[in-house]
Amino acid sequence: MSSAVVAPAYPSPRGWWTRRRRSYLIAFLFVAPAVVNFLLFRYVPILAAIRSSLWQYSLLGGYGKFIGLQAYGRLLQDPVFWKSLTVTVQYVLLKVPAQIVLSLALAILLQREDRFSAAVRSAIFAPVVTSIVVISVIWSLMYHVQLGLFNSILTSAGLPRVVFLSNARVALVAIVIMMVWKEIGFSLIVLMAGLKGIPDTFHEAARIDGASSWQQFRSITLPLLRRVLMFVVVTQTIFSFQVFVPVYTMTKGGPLDSTKVIVYYIYQNGFLFQDMGYASALSMITLIVLLGVSTAQMRWLRSEVEY
Amino acid sequence: MQVNRPSLAIEPLPLRPWRVAVPRRARNVAARGVQVALGVVLLIVYIVPFAWMILGSLRLETEIFQFTYPLSWHTFVPVVWSVKNFLDILGLSPEGRSFGLDFGRALGFTALVSAGVVVSSLIFNTMGAYFFARLEFPRKDLVLLFVIATLLIPFEAVMVPLYIVVRTLHLQDTYWALVLPWYASPFVIFALIQFFREIPRELDEAATMDGASHLGILRHVIVPNALPGLITTALLEFQFIWNLFYWPLIAVGRKDLQTIQVAIAQQTTQTQVYWGRIFAGSVLASVPVIILFLLLQRYYIKGVVMSWLKG
Contact A246, A175 (CB under 8 A): yes
Distance from CA of B213 to the nearest CA of A (A): 10
**A134 plus A40 within the same structural domain:** no
Contact A211, B8 (CB under 8 A): yes
**A129 with B71: Cβ contact below 8 A:** no
Alpha helices by DSSP H, B77-183 = 84-89, 94-98, 103-134, 140-149, 159-168, 175-179
**A252 plus A263 within the same structural domain:** yes
**A94 plus A55 within the same structural domain:** no
Predicted local confidence at residue B255, as pLDDT:
85
Per-residue pLDDT, averaged over B163-184, amounts to 93
Predicted local confidence at residue B311, as pLDDT:
47
Query: What percentage of chain B carries pLDDT values higher than 90?
Result: 40
Distance from CA of A31 to the nearest CA of B (A): 4
Choose the final residue of a domain: A20, A41, A68.
Answer: A68
Predicted local confidence at residue A79, as pLDDT:
94
> What is the DSSP code (8-state) at residue A114?
S
**A126 plus A199 within the same structural domain:** yes
Chain B within 8 Å of A244 (Cβ-Cβ)? yes
Sign of dihedral through CA atoms A241, B302, B284, A123? Answer: negative
**A129 with B38: Cβ contact below 8 A:** no
Contact A248, B160 (CB under 8 A): no
> Tens place of pLDDT for every residue, chain A, 307 residues?
444 444 444 555 567 888 888 889 999 999 999 999 999 999 999 999 999 899 888 877 778 888 888 889 999 999 999 999 999 999 999 999 999 999 999 998 888 888 898 899 999 999 999 999 999 999 999 999 888 889 888 988 888 888 999 888 899 999 999 999 999 999 998 899 888 888 878 888 887 888 777 888 888 888 888 888 888 888 899 889 999 999 999 999 878 899 999 999 999 999 999 888 999 999 999 999 999 988 888 787 777 654 4
**A78 plus A129 within the same structural domain:** yes
**A42 plus A153 within the same structural domain:** no
Q: Of B153, B77, B254, which Cα lies nearest the Cα of A294?
A: B153
**A22 plus A120 within the same structural domain:** no
In the predicted model, is pLDDT for residue B140 greater than 60? yes
Q: Of B132, B133, B156, B135, which Cα lies nearest the Cα of B144?
A: B132
Predicted local confidence at residue B115, as pLDDT:
96
**A51 plus A195 within the same structural domain:** no
CATH number of B103-309: 1.10.3720.10
**A48 plus A85 within the same structural domain:** no
Predicted local confidence at residue B42, as pLDDT:
94
Predicted local confidence at residue A6, as pLDDT:
46
**A138 plus A239 within the same structural domain:** yes
Predicted local confidence at residue A240, as pLDDT:
93
Choose the final residue of a domain: A10, A35, A68.
Answer: A68
**A79 plus A12 within the same structural domain:** no
Predicted local confidence at residue B15, as pLDDT:
52
Residue A277 maps to which CATH number?
1.10.3720.10
Reported as a single tens digit per residue, the pLDDT across B259-283 is: 999 999 988 877 778 888 899 999 9
Reported as a single tens digit per residue, the pLDDT across B40-54 is: 999 999 999 999 999
How many contacts (CB atoms, under 8 Å) link A and B? 290
Can you give the residue range of the structural domain that contains A18?
2-68
CB atoms within 10 A of CB B90: 21
In chain B, where are the structural domains located? 20-82, 103-309
Contacts of B131 in chain A (CB under 8 A): 27-28, 30-31
Reported as a single tens digit per residue, the pLDDT across B82-98 is: 888 999 889 888 888 88
Reported as a single tens digit per residue, the pLDDT across A6-59 is: 444 455 556 788 888 888 999 999 999 999 999 999 999 999 999 989 988 887
Count how many domains chain A has.
2
**A101 plus A9 within the same structural domain:** no
